[in-house]
Each structure stands twice: as C-alpha cells, then as structure tokens.
Amino acid sequence: MQKLIRYSLYLKTLYLFIFCVVTLSSTVYAQHTHVFKHPDRYFKRGKALFAKKNYVAAKQQFEDFLQKNKEETKHQENLIEARFYVAYLALILEQSNATKLYQKFVRTHPTHPKVAQAHYAWGNYYYEKKEYLTAIEYLEKVKTLQAQQAKVQTNDSQIKLDFRLGKAYFELEKYDKALAYLDKVKVLDHAYSYAASYYAGYIRYKQKAYQSSINDLKMAAQSPDYQKTVPILIASNYYAQQQYPRLLTYTDSLFQRNENVDEIATLYLLSGEAAYYTNNYDKAMSYFNRYLGLLSNQPPADVAYKIAFTHYKLKSYSLAAESFKNIAAQENEMGQKAAYYLGICYIKMNNKRFAAASFDQVRKMHYDASLESSATWTLGKLQYDLEQYTECIQTLEEFIKSYAGYPQRKDAEVLLTKAYMHSKEYNKALIYIEQLPNRNDEIKSAYQQIAFARGVEYFNAEAYSQAIAMFNKSLQDIRLPQLSYVTRYWLAECYAISQKPKESIPYYLQVRKAFDNQNKYALKASYGLGYAYYNLREYDKALPYFQQCVTSWQLRTAAEEETTPYSDAVTRLADCFYVQKKYANALHLYDELIAGKHPEQDYAYYQQGVIKVAQGDYDLAKQKFEDVVQNFPNSRYYDQALYEKALIDLENGHYSVAIAGFSTLMKERPHSLLRPNALLKRALSYQNFDNTNEAIKDYKAILKDHPTHSTAPSALLSLQDLLTQAGRTDELNEILRNYKKVNPNSKALLTIDLRNAEQAFFDGKYSEAIILFKAYISKYPEGGSPNAKYYLGEAYLNSGDNENALRYHMAVVQEQKSTYMERSMRRVGDLLYAKEQYRAAIDSYLMLASITKSSRNQLKAWEGLMNTYYEMKKLDSVRYYANEIIEKGNSTASRNKATLYIAQSYYDENKFNEALPLFKKVSESAKDKTGAIALYSYAHVLYNQGQYKSSLDALFRLSKEFPMDDDLRGKNFLLIADNYIGLKEYFQAKATLNSIIARSPNRNIVTEARKKLKSIEDKK
C-alpha cells in the first residue's frame, strides 16, 4: 500500500548543495598568477572533481591538500572543509574507514557548523539506502545540535529534515514519533506537505483515528501523486468504522468517474462487503463479481464465505453450494457455518442426500452450539425423509440426549418413534418404546407393528418359541385390527411348524373368519388348516380346505405362480381322496401333477402305484413304481418304490424276484429308513424260499442294527422259531439278553426322567438341560429315548458349544433311531460347514437329501450343498443345486437365495453380464438379508463398470429398504464414498467417510474409511 514519495532528493542534489556551500566559504585567489602553484590548488581541484562526481580523484585531491598543509594554519576553514570531504567521500565510496573519519572529524571540531552538515549528510546517505534506523541516529543529531546551538543550521530545508525523520520513523512503525514530525510538515505550504499528509493519514488509520486519517488523506489526494493511492485508505477507514453507506457513496462516485486508482480489486471487495453488510445483495454481488474478475487465485476463505452467502440470499443456490463446498471442508467456525448453509442450499435444490451429509458434518464441529443443535435436528428429519431409519434413530437419540431443553425435543421423540416403527432394528425399537412412561395411540400402533416384525424375524430364523412370544406381544394392545389377524396367521404357522397342529387350528380359523375367502391370508389359513387336520389324520376335515385352495389357486396369475403352493395343495387333496378310498378323484389329481410336470410328479407316480395295489392291479402298480425308479433316481420315493415293487412280488409268491428287489434297495440306498423293513421282508422271502440260513442272517441284522425299530419284535419271534427248528437255541439266549437291554420294561421311570430334561430344554435352561440329558443317557445307556441325544446336541448348540453339539448329533445320525434323525443330519452338515470341513459336510447333506421324505428337509439339504460347494468354488455344482431349489422348492426366500448364489457364481467367473440381471432380480424380490447382499453386489458391479450414479442409486435403495448388519452397512457406506470419489464429489465422500469413522462399531470398516479419507487429503 505504501509508496515512496516522489519528492525525495537524490544524492546528486545533496552533493551539489554541499559543493555550493563549500565554494561560497572559500577564499578566491583567481586573480593571482601563482594560484595553481599554491597548495590550495588541490582543494579547488577536489571540489571541482566532486562536482563532476569523480569521487575517487576528488578524495585524493583533498587528501593531498591536507598533506601539503600539515603545518599551515592560515587556511584553517579549508582544512576543516577538506577533512569533511575526505570523510564524506569515504562514506560515498563505502570505504571501511568512513565511520572512523566521520567520528574523528566530529571529535576534532565538535562546535563547528560543518559537524551539523556531517550529521545531515550521513543521515541522508543512510536514508537513501533505506537504512532508516541508522539514518535516524544521524538526523536526530542534527536536531540535537539545532536545539543546543540555535544558530547552527544545516543549510538545507528544515522541512525536508523533519519529513525525512517522520518518514524514517514511519518505516520503522514508530508511529507516534513519526507523527510528531509529519504533523509539522503537513501544515506547511511545501512540496513535502502532501507526502506528510499521506503518511500521517496512514498512521492514523492504523491507530484507528479514522476521521483524522480521512482528513489527512483528503489533503494528500490534492496532489496528483497521491490521487491513485489515497482511495483505498479512505475506503478502508469507512469500512473499519462500519460506515458502509458512506463507503459505498465514496466508491460509487469513484467508479462512476472512472478514476484510475491503485488496488482496485480491494476497492471492489470493500464495496462488495459494504453492500453485503447493508443487505444490498444485488449490489454486493455486482462488486464481488468485479473483484473475482481481477483475481488469479481463489479468494480468501472469509471472502469466499460472504460471496457464497450472497449467492444464497439471491436464491442462486447452485452457485452458493459450489462456493460453500470449498469452505465447508475447513475445520473451524467458518467451516461449520459454510457446511450449515451448504446443507440449506441442498435442501432448496431438493438434494436431501447431500444436505444430510452437510448437516452431519456441522453437528460434529463444536464451535457454534446453536448450529450444532439445529443441524442435528435437521439431519434427523432428513434421514427420516430419506428412509435412512437406522441413521435417523442414532441422530435423534443423540439430539434428545444432548439437547434435552430444546423446544424440538417432543417433536424429536415422535419422529424417533416413527423411525423405530420403520426401522429393521426391532430389538432396540421395543426397548425404547417399552421404557416410555406414556404411549399415545401412534406409539402403541408402532409397538404393535414392531413386535410383529420382530416375530417374523424370529420365524425366519426358525426360532419359533421366540416368535410366538413376540407375536403375542403384538396382540397385547391392538390398534391395527387387520395386522392382528396377519399376526394370528403367523402364530398358527409357528405352531404348525413346531408340530403342534391342534394349537394352530384356532388361529387359522380366526384368520379365515376375518378375511374374505379370496384374500391371500384367508387362502393361506385354509391351506394351513388343511395341513393341520391332515397331520392329525382327520382327512375328512382337511379335504375341503385343500379343495378351496386348489379351486382358488387354479386362477392364479403368472406372477403369483412362484409364491402359490398350488401343486402341493393338489397333492394333499389327492392324498385325502386316497385315504377316503375315492381312488378315481385321487388318480385324476395325481395325473394332473404328472401332466403339469410339477415337482411332486415322482410322488404322484408312487401314489398311483399304491392305489393300483389297493385295487389289485399289480402289473400297473409295478409299472408306476418302475416309473419312479427309472425317471427319478434322486427322488425321495426311490427307495419306497423299490420296496413296494419287491413287496408285490413277495405277496404274489415271486420270492426270488422279491429277494432281488429288497437286496437292490439295500444296496442302492444303504442308509434308507426302510432297511429294517426290507430286511424283514427279505427274511420272509428266504423262509418261503426255504433258505433258512439267509433268513436267520436278516433277522439277526435287524436285532443287531435296529433293535428298537418296530420290526424288531417280529424279527425276534421269527428268529426264535427258526433257531429252535434248527436246534440252535444257544444262539437265541445272547440275542434275547441284548434285546432286553435295549427294550427294558421300566417305561414310567424313563418317561419321568426324560420329561424333566425336556422341560429344562424347552424353558431355555440349556445348562440344566445338558446335565439332565447326560444323566439320563448315563442311567439308561441302552433303553433310553433315542431322542435324548438329539436334545443334548441342541442344548450344546444353544450354549455355543459347537464341538459337543456336533458329537451328539453325529451319534443320532449313526444310531438311526431318533425321530429327529433328519434334523440331526442337517445340524451335522451345518456344523461341519461352520468348521470348514466341507467334504464331510457335503456327505451329510447328500445323505439327508437321499433319505428324507420331508420337502422342507429336502430343501435344507440342497441349500447346504449349494452353500458348501460355493465355499469350495465348485461353481457348476452350486448352480446345479441352486436350480433344484428354484425349480422344486416352495419357499420364495429359498428361491431368492438360490438365485443370489447363481448370480454370485457368475460374478466370481467375471461373467458380469450374466450376474447383473440376477442380482437385480433378487434385490427386487427379496426384502431380507439375501436381497440386501444382492443389491450391494449389484451396486458393486455398476461401480466397477464406472456407472457411479446408478451404483449410488442402488446403494441408497439398500440403505432405505433393507436390514443390514454392521458389516454390510459399513461396506455400503464405503462403496458410497468410492462412488462419490469417482464423481469427484470429494466433500460428500469426506462427509460419508467421517460419518463411518464416527459411528461404525466395525474396526475394520473404520480403518478402511481412514485410509480412503487420507487418500482424498493426499490428492488434494
């Protein structure tokens, strides 16, 4: 801002001045012809050379003069003057002895007028070199001499001396001393007066004496030399006094006159800010734009903030957002304000997602508490609007806890309840609502819905007792009647799956009564009632319910086919007709299953064979059984078909053929549950074929391997007869002892001990149950219930002891006695899978798939095989079993999971075009964890393809619609940040990553977020 004054005199002027002074004080000898022979000629030549700036030669002449006049006394003045010149010329020539010569001169002639000139000369010399501290030292000596010797003068302008002292003090920022000299000069009518006024004005601006500064500066502005430099200082004075209207009047006038002034960019800025502070945003933006047009770099942060706020006030939200964005990244109070208004801009632009990121940043910056609270509340509302309920809950809980006295607290509590109602974190929701002292109807309604949703979660996790408890909670205070009947339906399903059909019937009936007959829940309830009565063997009651389902579902749409168990209803209806011996109706329905190539067609063939046996048409019966064997080698009814076919031969006296048939069954299906029956019938065939030894072997095999099977008593009696007839009764005694061990007579005691252990298990007292079941097994090692080891395995599993759980479930499978053997097979497969013993797990699942007659267990076996083969990266096998589930399974959830595995297998093979539509399909069909994983994978493929916006849309949908655990939620937000980085939306990326760091409980996710955040900072 400062400029050197143009009135500074240069050394040339000083040197000429001194030359004149010296010349006037010398004796003139020009009239004498011997003058040039006198020693004074050196003195004169020295002065002449000095005038011509030939300083080296001049100094030599003066030194010669002094040398020649060592003893001379009559030219004393010339000698003093010569000594002055020698010292001064040494200074000009920057010789090392200059100061010593100066000091000697002053010491030698302390009272001589030349001393003042020496001080003055030395002061001006250092002044011109801008060594102001040294200059002041010499110039102040002049002032001291003037004060001591009133007659001593410098023969130079006293005004110039005062100005230079003032200017030197100014440069050293010793403003009070500077003003003492400048104020004396500025009031004089002199060339230095304008410069003195300028510097005095500047000093008074610095000293906040604004009006005096303005007066001085206006005086300086009368000089053309200061007309360009004064305006910025006058404007700054007005600005400092917050006299914004006067500043604008002044600068407007300047710009209208189109005057050429210094620092015009700063003048534009001051004018813009003055208009900004007077809320004249149009004028402010006009000046800001002129200011920006002259900048080569970005404006300072505080200026950028004002420009951004001006855009905001002018409703230019997009421009404001771009400006606020850069400032909002700063970790300071201004950054917090910028982030707050950035959020408001995004709201105005209807970009709530970006707005949420901005307010999330504001609430983490602890500078302005009012902004913090407002941002937290606004963030909670935005997250609710964006259906980010999990995040909304966290934000509103923080708001309620941190800002208890704020007026929005009650609104926050209501909104938090709504967020809980929509969230998938049902446990937290229930805990929150249950601790509320007062619940209005809205909260009670939310509680009913949340308890229901939690019950469904338990149901899907096969935790049916917990599901029942939660469904009953939902029915405690009914606010939504229709939901209450849906809840009753799921209660009935829990009881049905838990093999408690009697308990399910009242709930199914309530559902049917509540809904129209064609309502999907009414039909599902009818289907459930059909099964309940079917499982109770009350087939006459089951038949009309299955009939209603078949009649209604025949009209199903293509979209409903996958979710409607039509073919299963047809199957059970046919079974009911079969039991009632209405064979024609049953055969017709079985034909429909075969013609439609439904998953149950193998069973339909089998049942037609059974009916033909009942009708005495053995040839056609054998053909139907053969159809099962030939066309469905993996059928659950394969071993039964072989058995029935061999049984026909036995009953028709074709013993050798029967023996071959039963042998084939046991060879091809060694783990078949029909093996004891096949052994019994084969033994009978051997007997009829007079092959007593082979018959005895089969009877012994039954008693050894299946001593508790229903065939064992018959085998024992027949064996006793054969051994007696053969005279081998000694063999019978050992067999009888073993049989009695396995089948003791004390049934009552066995029952009491078993019930105590079972009760502890069902009450969830697993530690107690383990002790009781182990004691029971120890007490009755041979004759106890074969289910005891199953329950013991389950108790260990629920206690987290997987090793012992596996041990006892494997025992159940090996013994093949328990009614829960198939469940144990599932458990063994699942536990081996968890231990990464994949080959062994596959063996267990394959065994289950081969022997089960339960469609549910068949599905679970396929799922286990699909999961395990995926871990082994045998992707073709994954797709095979996944397609089995899709084609034959009657569970939408299972089909969705299978489709996900197919998609993932293609993804692993880099077949993204095949994977992408399948991921999308699953994400649109499933609303559980399967759908969440599918949608995340879908978004990841899009990200890898550079489709960042489409990937973001998918990820936002994931946050909005799906339940996620902490791991998936963390990965979701990391991928959101990656997409923002891809779009170069670094502010949003940083806000997302900071949110992860602040909130995620997953350390690995937080570590990854920190790495990405550092990467962004490094790029910047």
pLDDT > 60? residue 258: yes
Is the pLDDT assigned to residue 227 strictly greater than 70? yes
Band (pLDDT 50/70/90 cuts) for residue 830 is: very high
pLDDT for residue 654: 92
Most confident option among 9-13, 39-43, 604-608: 604-608
What residues contact 301, with CB distance under 8 A and at least 6 apart? 327, 330, 334
Amino acid residing at 539: Y
Residue 473's pLDDT band (cuts 50, 70, 90): very high
Going by pLDDT thresholds of 50, 70 and 90, the confidence category of residue 867 is very high
Question: In this structure, are residues 1000 and 966 in contact, taking their beta carbons and an 8 Å threshold?
Answer: yes
Cβ within 8 Å of residue 553, ≥6 positions away? 523, 560, 564, 566, 569
pLDDT, average across residues 90-112: 82
Tell me, what's the pLDDT at 783? 62
What tokens appear for 1017 in the block? 């900072």
784-796 tens-digit pLDDT: 778 888 989 999 9
Q: What percent of the chain has pLDDT over 90?
A: 50
Is the pLDDT higher at 326 or at 621?
A: 621
**Does the pLDDT value for residue 987 go beyond 90?**
no
Q: Which of the four pLDDT bands, split at 50, 70 and 90, describes residue 38?
A: low
- Mean pLDDT on 489-511: 94
Kindly state the average pLDDT of the residues 203-222: 93
Report the pLDDT value the prediction gives residue 893, as an integer from 0 to 100. 84
Give 11 or 205, the one with higher predicted confidence: 205
- Who has greater pLDDT, 558 or 914? 914
pLDDT at 746: 44
Of the pLDDT bands very low, low, confident and very high (cuts 50, 70, 90), residue 233 is very high
pLDDT for 141: 86
Highest mean pLDDT out of 99-113, 119-133, 530-544: 530-544
* Domain assignments of the chain as residue spans, ordered by start: 298-423
* Residue 417 predicted with pLDDT over 60: yes
Return the pLDDT at 461: 84
Q: What are the structure tokens assigned to 350, written together?
A: 């209807």
Inter-residue contact 303 to 287 (CB < 8 Å): no
Q: Say yes or no to pLDDT of 651 above 60.
A: yes
Is 70 exceeded by the pLDDT of residue 109? yes
Confidence (pLDDT) at 55: 87
pLDDT at 5 (0 to 100)? 34
Given a contact cutoff of 8 angstroms between Cβ atoms, the answer to whether 882 and 899 are in contact is yes
- Mean pLDDT, the chain, whole residue set: 87
- Mean pLDDT across 692-708: 89
What pLDDT sits at residue 159?
86
For 439, the token pair is 């619940």
Q: What per-residue confidence (pLDDT) applies to 405?
A: 82
**What pLDDT is stored for residue 2 in this prediction?**
38
Of 150-159, 327-336, 440-449, 479-488, give the lowest mean pLDDT range.
150-159
**Span 319-328, average pLDDT:** 92
pLDDT over 60 (residue 819): yes
Per-residue pLDDT tens digits for 868-905: 999 999 999 999 999 998 888 777 888 899 999 999 99
Given pLDDT bands bounded at 50, 70 and 90, which one contains residue 150? low
More confident residue, 109 or 685: 685
d(CA 465, CA 494): 8
Query: If you average pLDDT over residues 742-756, what whole number do you get?
Result: 62
Q: What pTM did the predictor assign?
A: 0.62
Q: Provide the 8-state DSSP code for 94.
A: T
Averaged pLDDT, 130-146 = 88
pLDDT of residue 841: 92
* CA dist., res. 722 & res. 697, Å (int): 11
Whether pLDDT at 47 is above 60: yes
Q: What is the DSSP string of 136-197?
A: HHHHHHHHHHHHH-TT---SS-HHHHHHHHHHHHHHTT-HHHHHHHHHHHHTSSSTHHHHHH
Lowest mean pLDDT among 171-175, 643-647, 684-688, 752-756: 752-756
- Amino acid (one-letter) located at 851: I
Among 346, 364, 366, which Cα is nearest to 356's? Answer: 346
Residue 406's pLDDT band (boundaries 50, 70, 90)? confident
Mean pLDDT along residues 113-121: 82
Tokens of 526: 């009818």
pLDDT-derived band at 82, boundaries 50, 70, 90: confident
Is the model's pLDDT at 30 over the cut of 50? no
Q: What is the DSSP letter of 561?
A: G
C-alpha triplet 750, 756, 761: angle, nearest 5° = 125
What number is the average pLDDT over the span 814-837?
89
Angle at which helix 464-474 crosses helix 481-497, to 10 degrees, equals 160
pLDDT of residue 448: 93
556-574 average pLDDT score: 84
Domain 298-423 belongs to what architecture? Alpha Horseshoe (1.25)
pLDDT tens for 719-740 read 888 888 888 878 877 787 777 7
Report how far residue 880's alpha carbon sits from residue 888's, in angstroms, rounded to the nearest whole number. Answer: 12
pLDDT at residue 108 is higher than 90: no
pLDDT > 70? residue 467? yes
Residue from 1008, 272, 11 nearest 993 by CA = 1008
Q: What confidence score (pLDDT) does residue 149 get?
A: 67
Give first-to-last CA distance, the chain, whole Å: 33
Predicted local distance difference test score (pLDDT) of residue 274: 96
Under 8 Å between Cβ of 718 and 685: no
71 band by pLDDT with thresholds 50, 70 and 90? low
